[in-house]
Amino acid sequence: MDVMSAKPPTSLDVAREAGVSQATVSYVLNNREGMRISDETRARVREAADRLGYVPHAGARTLRTGHSGLVLVPLVDIPYGVLAVGIMEELDRELSRLGYTMIQYGARRLKGVAAARAWAELRPVAVIAPAERLTRQAVDVLHSAGIKAVVGLGVVGWSSEIVSTVTMDHEAIGVTAAEHLAARGCSTLTAIVPVEDGLREMGLRRASGVQRVAAAHGVPYTRVDLAFSEAAAAAMLDVWRDANSAGSADSVDGADSVDGADTAGRAPAKRGVFAYNDDYAMLLMAVLADNGFSVPGDVAVVGCDDLPLAKLLRPRLTTVRFDVATAPAVLAQALDEVVKGGEIGRHRLTLWTHALVERDST
């Protein structure tokens, strides 16, 4: 118990203190059933362990048992948001309930096989990683290091024979957003796709959902690849203006359309935009306001994530919210099954149901 004793106490130290053998200490402290040990001895051992401040050596245990109970979750290069952090916390809780220890591991600087090797050193029982990182070779390294479950996180449509996958149905999110925009009378649907590395793939999936809805409703569809900057967003608006003046010769330059009543033969074209997420929606709305567009009059905007900022935008942002509540539990459960069952690459799980949160931007 004294600070800076030379060496941490071992189970053997505890054994000596309690006057029993080291094996007995192990049996007692691990509550191993089937072993016949008197209650009195059990108490003596526990008391000795407490007195010495004994903490088991995870490395030694791993060496002996062959597995660590660790679940490795590499920190990925997606911009972490409130949402992702919440999911991680919930997943941590669920995994610990099942007896695992979740660990997050900075993985940005290592790639491919090198990263896999680094992960494998800890002999985790499972690795959860972004699907695109799990190349054939990387997975081979993990498996040959004895890691039971390798779970890839990806988007629906990504598939792998080599690992279990947990996917998120991004296309369905696009559909939900777009259906809502169509119901609000938008005569044009636009999907914004971020250019950032970690986000782009999801953006494309969401966009294709929007496209499907546009096709079903016979409404023109455009996809815009957008960097997260006001300049890029403004450039997009310039294109829109050009398209407007070219398409319908209603009004050119200056005030676009009086918003009083749509009495004229052609209703004013209302654009519907699914902005990929709430951050992009905020960017878009700021630039729209700067350029005299009215929301939702000229342009209806739907975000995604239902971040706190969604409620604070004016108009308040309509957005798609994930149901985070149950997903981590399902994932943890599936992972446990893979570990226990020993099957590989069988599971296909789609998580995260979602719902539209209707506010004032549409």
Q: Which of DNA, its own copies, none binds 104 (CB below 5-8 Å, type-dependent)?
A: its own copies
Among residues 65 and 159, whose Cβ is nearest to DNA? Answer: 65
Judged by beta carbon distances under 5 to 8 A according to partner kind, the member of DNA, its own copies, none in contact with residue 264 is none
Angle, nearest 10°, between helix axes 230-247 and 278-290? Answer: 60
Q: Which does 38 bind (CB under 5 to 8 A by kind): DNA, its own copies, none?
A: DNA
Is 31 a binding residue for DNA by CB under 7 A? The answer is no
Q: Which does 12 bind (CB under 5 to 8 A by kind): DNA, its own copies, none?
A: DNA
Selected range binding its own copies among 36-44, 62-70, 254-262, 327-335, rule: CB under 8 A: 62-70
- Tell me how far apart the alpha carbons of residues 26 and 33 are, in angstroms, rounded to a whole number: 12
Instruction: Please classify residue 165 by burial: count the beta carbons closer than 10 Å to its beta carbon, then call 0-12 exposed, 13-18 middle and 19+ buried.
Output: buried
Q: Could you tell me if residue 56 is left (phi over 0), alpha (psi between -120 and 50 degrees) or otherwise beta?
A: beta
Ordered DSSP codes for 54-73: ----HHHHHHHHS---EEEE
Q: Does 32 bind its own copies (CB under 8 A)?
A: no
Site string for its own copies, 94-133 (x = CB under 8 A): --x----xxxxxx-xx-------xx-xxxx----------
- In this chain, which stretch among 91-99, 206-214, 253-261, 292-300 interacts with its own copies, using CB under 8 A? 91-99
Q: Are 148 and 155 in contact (CB under 8 A)?
A: no
CA distances from 240 to 180, 188, 273, 336 (A): 21, 11, 12, 51
DSSP letter assigned to residue 270: P
Contacted entry of DNA, its own copies, none for residue 93, CB cut-off 5 to 8 Å set by kind: its own copies
Between CA 203 and CA 177 the distance in angstroms is 13
Of residues 55-84, those binding DNA (CB under 7 A): 56-57, 60-61, 63-66
Q: Does residue 359 touch its own copies according to CB under 8 A? A: no
